[in-house]
């Protein structure tokens, strides 16, 4: 592309990209790759400044900053959007997908796109989904190999109704709490355990305060790449195109890095003294049945067309 085209179609812009994860986390690697690609496409005119580790606030503070136009980008877990578009709760339904292939097909397909289409009216534009990983339970009391093993355990969960009710269905005692307070609560034994993807468990040194790591794989978690609508609307069509292309080219890379890191994290957590155990696919299917009333309850409160699309898509990807 000729330099004159850059000058015509692009202004010098600084994009503040905030997220909650540490700078050694796969989300951070995604931000860095996106920044490189966008700089290359725009001839250096569009510069991304990364603010990792909650420097710009927690998920909801950053969401408000995007809606208000004071922050340009963030990459929160999709879970945090259920407060403004409740159908994002569909992604949090337990035991819905069992492989990365299924997860990607669900999010990159019609369901993921229909959810994204609901965001602009809330002041947000989404450029696709990144990998956070399957969530797994850790605790300081016992291995979890079946639903009954959760009975009575105090488990910190994301402050989200689907998560709360899911763990209640397993007779655990779920405690909603911001992520920033979690390590201290585990250390002081205010809670027995928590649930997060492997790379988050490792990156936040939970092996220091937790003994048992159980591969429950109860929910697949994704991050979503968000742009402030106010900022997006100031961009030229060419700048928007570069942003979309950079995001699309980053997606495969970020997922690959994230999944490789998760696999490596299991070995590292074991080396740090955690006791690892699998939960069989038969038991996961049984747990899905136990959690079904929770799924039915929330599905009944969502837009019926979205719920139908969700179930149609699950049927398609499970084939």
Q: What is the pLDDT of residues 149-186, one digit of tens each?
A: 999 999 999 888 899 999 999 999 999 988 889 999 99
3-state secondary structure of 98: coil
- pLDDT tens track for 197-222: 998 899 899 999 999 999 999 999 99
The pLDDT, as a whole number, for residue 6 is 61
Taking alpha carbons only, the member of 74, 54, 76 closest to residue 204 is: 54
Helix (H, G, I), strand (E, B) or coil at 273: coil
Q: What is the Cα–Cα distance from 179 to 194, expressed in whole angstroms?
A: 10
Q: Which of 143, 149, 151, 140 is nearest to 190 (CA)?
A: 140
Query: Can you name the CATH fold of 11-318?
Result: D-Maltodextrin-Binding Protein; domain 2 (3.40.190)
In which element (H, E) is residue 239 found? helix 237-271
Q: Are 49 and 274 in contact (CB under 8 A)?
A: no
Contact at 8 Å (CB) between 50 and 32?
yes
For the question of whether the overall pTM of this predicted structure is more than 0.85, the answer is yes
What pLDDT is recorded for position 115? 98
Question: What are the backbone dihedrals phi and psi of residue 215, each rounded to the nearest 5 degrees, phi first?
Answer: -80, 70
**Residue 120: CA atoms inside 13 Å, Cβ hemisphere, count?**
6
By DSSP bridging, strand 124-139 and strand 212-228 are antiparallel
Q: Domain residues of the chain, as ranges?
A: 11-318
C-alpha to C-alpha distance for 293 and 298, rounded to whole angstroms:
9
User: Which residue ranges of the chain lie beneath pLDDT 70?
Assistant: 1-8
């Amino acid at each position: 592309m000729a330099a004159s085209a850059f000058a015509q179609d692009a202004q010098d812009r600084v994009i503040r990209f905030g997220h909650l994860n540490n700078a050694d986390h796969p989300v951070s690697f995604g931000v860095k790759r996106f920044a490189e690609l966008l700089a290359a496409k725009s001839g250096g005119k569009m510069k991304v400044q990364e603010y990792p580790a909650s420097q710009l606030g927690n998920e909801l503070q950053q969401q408000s900053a995007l809606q208000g136009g004071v922050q340009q980008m963030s990459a929160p877990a999709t879970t945090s959007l259920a407060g403004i578009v409740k159908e994002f709760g569909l992604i949090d339904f337990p035991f819905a997908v069992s492989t990365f292939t299924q997860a990607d097909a669900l999010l990159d397909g019609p369901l993921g796109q229909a959810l994204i289409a609901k965001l602009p009216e809330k002041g947000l534009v989404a450029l696709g989904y990144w990998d956070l990983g399957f969530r797994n339970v850790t605790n300081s009391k016992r291995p979890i190999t079946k639903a009954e093993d959760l009975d009575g355990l105090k488990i910190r969960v994301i402050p989200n109704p689907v998560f709360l009710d899911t763990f209640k269905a397993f007779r655990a005692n779920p405690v909603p709490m911001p992520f920033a307070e979690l390590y201290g609560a585990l250390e002081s034994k205010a809670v027995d355990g928590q649930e997060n993807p492997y790379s988050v468990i490792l990156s936040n040194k939970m092996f220091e305060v937790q003994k048992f790591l159980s591969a429950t794989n109860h929910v697949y978690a994704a991050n979503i790449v968000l742009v402030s609508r106010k900022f997006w609307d100031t961009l030229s069509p060419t700048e928007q195109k570069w942003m979309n292309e950079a995001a699309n080219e980053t997606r495969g890379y970020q997922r690959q890095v994230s999944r490789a890191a998760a696999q490596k994290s299991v070995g590292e957590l074991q080396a740090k003294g955690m006791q690892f155990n699998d939960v069989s696919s038969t038991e996961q299917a049984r747990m899905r049945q136990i959690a079904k009333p929770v799924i039915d309850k929330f599905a009944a409160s969502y837009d019926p067309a979205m719920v139908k699309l969700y179930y149609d898509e699950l049927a398609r990807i499970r084939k």
